[in-house]
């Protein structure tokens, strides 16, 4: 006789919530099939695998089902195990506030195949012991495959003492493969060790285009993502399209990303990420490949190899950004965008520890002349007013306004933020960004430029001629 959660037929038909903390969890044995279409909440089975469901058969979960506040030893809400185990979970399913004493705060997939549909929400789940604050997958000597659809949200999950604040993929067998669809959001997750959002140990992971990682934290390495070989198994991760990494932090290495395997990325925008309290985007000791445009403001540390594809643009947002990897340039363009106040001089993008096999193409900068030297070293000098006008197509009023705001510090947080933004756009390698800056200058001219000019009299700025845009 099947051992299952004690629903009455009427309760199942009405899709009422199962919320008795003493309720028996649903156990789907090998060869059995079960379908769940009711909320499963507050099942406290913290000493048993699968707080709400233990599945070794075939499990189907309907669209919109909520797993809330369940507790298990492995898989706070659901654990799918063994080669015969398979789970198909519908769209718009939510895993909220579930807890695992060991791994997989919400979902555990071991030696099995699981599919979770679009718009899944994993919020505020926690794994106390071995990792995967929301999701943990392992092979245990065999194969495990997990697919999660588009628009998944991983927010506020926690791996209290281990790896993968939201997701942990651990390969100790033939294959551990996780695929997450487009537009995944990883926000506010944390790990007691590696991978504030995602940790991939010796497995294979793929994230669709549009992934974003914000304010994730790792107590050791990889503030957002940790990808590393393990036990003779090669780790490979692909993040497609353009991904965004903002304000992630690692106490150790890799403010946003730590890579000791193979990491393939499309384009990426890195901003405000820190390792050990200092700006750093990536620590790469393996193979890192970019096939799209990349923006760095903290740089790439480590002794690995980074490749930039042909016809892509590498934008470096600050004069203090460095790369210590061996860089393979297949025909990328380098766009240097200096912070307000940069005075020019020598700038070494590639450190002594790194190398550059082929010089980048140099994008035009409206405010600076940039001359390539050797091995990623550049000489920077300010442009004349005439060169600025010629390179941007600015009119006199626009040039005056850019002069007033680029590099200005008025003490007004709002104004200074606008000035910094305009200063960055006007230096961009993309013509559309430069035009945006000029349009902003036109809009600001009637009010803001005169105000700045009055404040800047001590610096002898005037509007009677086209001045050099101060930075």
C-alpha–C-alpha distance, residues 172 and 246, integer Å: 32
Give residue 377's domain range. 239-382
User: Which H or E run includes 449?
Assistant: helix 448-455
Res 8 pLDDT > 70: no
Structure confidence at residue 383 (pLDDT):
84
Instruction: Please tell me the predicted confidence (pLDDT) of residue 24.
Output: 73
Least confident of 125-129, 231-235, 305-309, 465-469: 465-469
Percent of the chain with pLDDT over 70: 88
Residue 399 counted as domain residue: yes
Residue 172 lies in a domain: no
Structural domain contains residue 245: yes
Which range is most confident: 210-219, 422-431, 445-454? 210-219
The whole-angstrom separation of Cα 192 and Cα 120 is 24
Confidence (pLDDT) at 227: 99
Confidence of residue 305 (pLDDT cuts 50, 70, 90): very high
Residue 364 lies in a domain: yes
pLDDT band at 218 (very low <50, low <70, confident <90, very high): very high
pLDDT at res. 16: 31
Q: So what's the pLDDT on residue 444?
A: 74
Alpha-carbon torsion (62, 97, 100, 204), positive or negative: positive
The residue whose two tokens read 């997958």 is 137
* pLDDT at residue 186 tops 50: yes
Residue 77: pLDDT band with limits 50, 70, 90: very high
pLDDT above 90: residue 111? yes
Is pLDDT of 338 > 60? yes
Are 396 and 375 part of one and the same domain? no
- pTM: predicted TM-score of the whole model, two decimal places: 0.88
Q: Is 310 exposed, middle or buried (0-12, 13-18, 19+ CB in 10 A)?
A: exposed
**Angle formed by the axes of helices 413-426 and 448-455, to 10°?**
100
pLDDT given for residue 15 in this prediction:
33
Q: Give the mean pLDDT of 465-470.
A: 42
Q: How far apart are CA 41 and CA 25, in angstroms?
A: 11
> Does 354 lie in the same domain as 310?
yes
Please tell me the total count of domains within the chain: 2
Closest to 216 (Cα-Cα) out of 254, 183, 269: 254
Last residue of a domain, one of 382, 410, 440: 382
Mark whether 315 and 336 lie in a shared domain.
yes
Range from 153-167, 193-207, 456-470 carrying the lowest mean pLDDT: 456-470
What are the tokens at 176? 């551990």
Average per-residue pLDDT for the chain: 88
Q: Do residues 229 and 204 lie in contact, with contact meaning Cβ atoms separated by under 8 Å?
A: no
Q: What is the pLDDT of residues 116-156, one digit of tens each?
A: 999 999 999 999 999 999 999 999 888 999 999 999 999 99
Q: Which of these, 364, 337, 315, 344, lies nearest to 423 by C-alpha position?
A: 337
More confident residue, 446 or 333: 333
Residue 11 has pLDDT above 50, yes or no: no
Q: What's the mean pLDDT in 168-194? A: 97
Q: What is the pLDDT of residues 81-104, one digit of tens each?
A: 997 889 999 999 999 999 999 999
Here the tokens at position 275 are 């390792």
Q: Are residues 367 and 269 in the same domain?
A: yes
| Residue 402 sits in the same domain as residue 326 | no
Give mean pLDDT, residues 278-299.
98
Q: Are residues 397 and 300 in the same domain?
A: no
Task: Answer yes or no: do 323 and 420 share one domain.
Answer: no
> 408: pLDDT confidence band, cut at 50, 70 and 90?
low
How much of the chain, in percent, has pLDDT values that exceed 90? 70
């Amino acid at each position: 006789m099947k051992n299952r959660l004690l629903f009455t037929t009427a309760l199942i038909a009405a899709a009422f919530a199962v919320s008795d903390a003493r309720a028996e969890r649903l156990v789907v044995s090998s060869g059995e099939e079960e379908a769940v279409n009711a909320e499963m909440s507050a099942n406290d089975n913290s000493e048993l695998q699968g707080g709400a469901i233990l599945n070794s058969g075939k499990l189907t979960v309907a669209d919109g089902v909520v797993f809330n506040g369940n507790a298990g030893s492995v898989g706070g809400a659901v654990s799918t195990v063994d080669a015969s185990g398979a789970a198909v979970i519908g769209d718009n399913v939510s895993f909220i506030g579930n807890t695992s004493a060991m791994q997989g705060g919400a979902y555990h997939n071991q030696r099995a195949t699981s599919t979770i549909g679009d718009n899944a929400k994993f919020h505020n789940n926690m794994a106390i012991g071995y990792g995967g604050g929301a999701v943990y997958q392992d092979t245990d000597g065999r194969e495990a495959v997990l697919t999660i659809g588009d628009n998944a949200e991983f927010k506020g999950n926690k791996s209290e003492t281990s790896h993968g604040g939201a997701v942990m993929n651990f390969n100790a067998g033939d294959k551990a493969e996780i695929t997450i669809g487009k537009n995944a959001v990883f926000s506010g997750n944390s790990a007691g060790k590696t991978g504030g959002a995602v940790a991939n140990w010796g497995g294979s992971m793929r994230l669709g285009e549009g992934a974003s990682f914000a304010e994730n934290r790792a107590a050791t390495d990889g503030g957002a993502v940790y990808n590393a070989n393990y036990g003779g198994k090669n780790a490979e991760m692909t993040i497609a399209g353009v991904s965004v990494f903002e304000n992630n932090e690692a106490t150790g290495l890799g403010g946003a990303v730590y890579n000791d395997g193979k990491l393939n990325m499309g384009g990426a925008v890195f901003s405000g990420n820190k390792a050990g309290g200092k700006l750093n985007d990536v620590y790469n000791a393996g193979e890192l490949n970019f096939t799209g445009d990349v923006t760095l403001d903290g740089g790439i540390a480590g002794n690995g190899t980074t490749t930039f594809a042909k016809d892509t643009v590498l934008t470096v947002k600050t004069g203090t950004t460095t790369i210590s990897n061996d860089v393979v340039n297949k025909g990328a363009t380098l766009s240097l965008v200096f912070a307000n106040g940069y005075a020019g001089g020598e700038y070494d993008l590639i450190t002594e520890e790194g190398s550059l096999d082929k010089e980048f193409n140099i994008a035009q900068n409206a405010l600076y002349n940039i001359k390539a030297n050797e091995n990623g070293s550049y000489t920077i000098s300010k442009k004349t007013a005439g060169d600025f006008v010629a390179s941007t197509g600015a009119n006199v009023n626009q040039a005056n306004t850019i002069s007033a705001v680029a590099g200005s510090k008025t003490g007004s947080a709002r104004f200074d933020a606008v000035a910094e933004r305009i200063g960055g756009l006007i230096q961009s390698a993309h013509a559309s960004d430069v035009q945006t800056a000029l349009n902003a200058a036109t809009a600001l001219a009637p009010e803001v430029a005169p105000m700045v000019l009055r404040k800047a009299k001590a610096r002898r700025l005037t509007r009677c001629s086209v001045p050099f845009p101060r930075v």
